[in-house]
Amino acid sequence: MRITGKAKLAGVMGWPVEHSRSPQLHGHWLSCYRIDGAYLPLPVNPADLQAALRALPKLGFAGVNLTIPHKEAAVEIVDTIDADAKRIGAVNTVVVGADGQLAGSNTDAFGFLEHLRQTVSAWNAADGPAVILGAGGAARGAAVALLDVGVPEVRFVNRTVARAEHLVGDLGGRTKAFAVPDLNDVIHDAALLANTTSLGMTGQPPLEMSLDTLPTQAIVYDIVYTPLQTPLLAAARARGNPTVDGLGMLLHQARPGFEAWFGVAPEVTAALRAAVLED
Ligand code: ATR
């Protein structure tokens, strides 16, 4: 695809940013839809985040995605933030308005839910409690998504229980915190089990847990996507549980930003999955 002088510009700010798959993802869509535009990796030192974001309108950028470690800091920098970003406490998408204002949003909850719904169409929020392994930013995003669509209870199980309790304090009502030794009991009536920790990721320790007490109809969702088939998903599949991998969440969370910057509502396809997995 040729880039002209009228090309629309977007990118991803991270530090480091080399690991990001977003340039491949958006690059695939740009060429698919033959859009005159570019999506670039933007290495931005945390000390320079404010200046870099404020430079976007001056440089003619339509906006950016934010990745580690910028998502939380951006909350204080952008001019407006949407309800999800406020509740999650993190911004992953910035759109530059016509007036140069920076609108921050968080599309992680949207991505988590869209991928779940498209993979297991029979899933219903009212099916039963959800158990979330972890209590970091990813756990918060998943919990916000599930609570908003009416999941009756979200249970956080985390190595550091105090962190899970902190999340319960923030999200309130239908949430509870548990320690890892409680896991067998906590999952016995779950309709969904989601891993939001980095355990099971290539180079990280495995996620060691028994699924023996988990109902076989419960969905097992792992947001880790390297490898695509994590040991948790393999164990779940072997006992007949429906499974949801982590790559789809990454693809779906990218949709709202792409549409805002480039004016086309993009589709998540098998070709996109392949493009993002390419080295
Ligand atoms: P993110 O924003 O991606 O969710 P994070 O905020 O660093 O990342 O959270 C990482 C989560 O993985 C946490 O729940 C963390 O548990 P702690 O709160 O106890 O640190 C969990 N995690 C990471 N490494 C772990 C390990 N080796 N064993 C158990 N849990 C781990």
The pLDDT value recorded for residue 173 is: 86
Give the integer Cα–Cα distance in Å for 155 and 93. 28
Q: Can you say whether the dihedral through the CA atoms of 175, 176, 180, 182 is positive or negative?
A: negative
The pLDDT value recorded for residue 1 is: 66
Give the CATH superfamily of 8-106+254-277: Leucine Dehydrogenase, chain A, domain 1 (3.40.50.10860)
**Residue intervals in the chain for CATH 3.40.50.10860:** 8-106+254-277
Q: Tell me the best of 155, 198, 223, 226 to mutate to test the pocket of ligand 1, counting ligand atoms within 8 Å of each CB and taking the most.
A: 198
pLDDT in tens, 63-101: 999 999 999 999 999 999 999 999 999 999 999 999 999
- Contact 108/138 with Cβ under 8 angstroms? yes
Number of helices followed by number of strands (H, E) in the chain: 11, 12
Name the closest-CA residue to atom 12, ligand 1. 197
Domain 109-248 is found in CATH 3.40.50.720: yes
Q: How far is the CA of 48 from the centre of ligand 1 (A)?
A: 27
Ligand 1 binding pocket includes 163 (Cβ within 6 Å): yes
Would you say the pTM of this structure is higher than 0.85?
yes
**Residue intervals in the chain for CATH 3.40.50.720:** 109-248
Catalytically annotated residues: 71
Q: How far is the CA of 158 from the centre of ligand 1 (A)?
A: 8
Angle at 251 between CA 250 and CA 253, to 5 degrees: 65
pLDDT in tens, 206-237: 999 999 999 999 999 999 988 999 999 999 99
pLDDT in tens, 183-201: 999 999 999 999 999 999 9
Q: How far is the CA of 54 from the centre of ligand 1 (A)?
A: 31
Ligand 1 binding pocket includes 197 (Cβ within 6 Å): yes
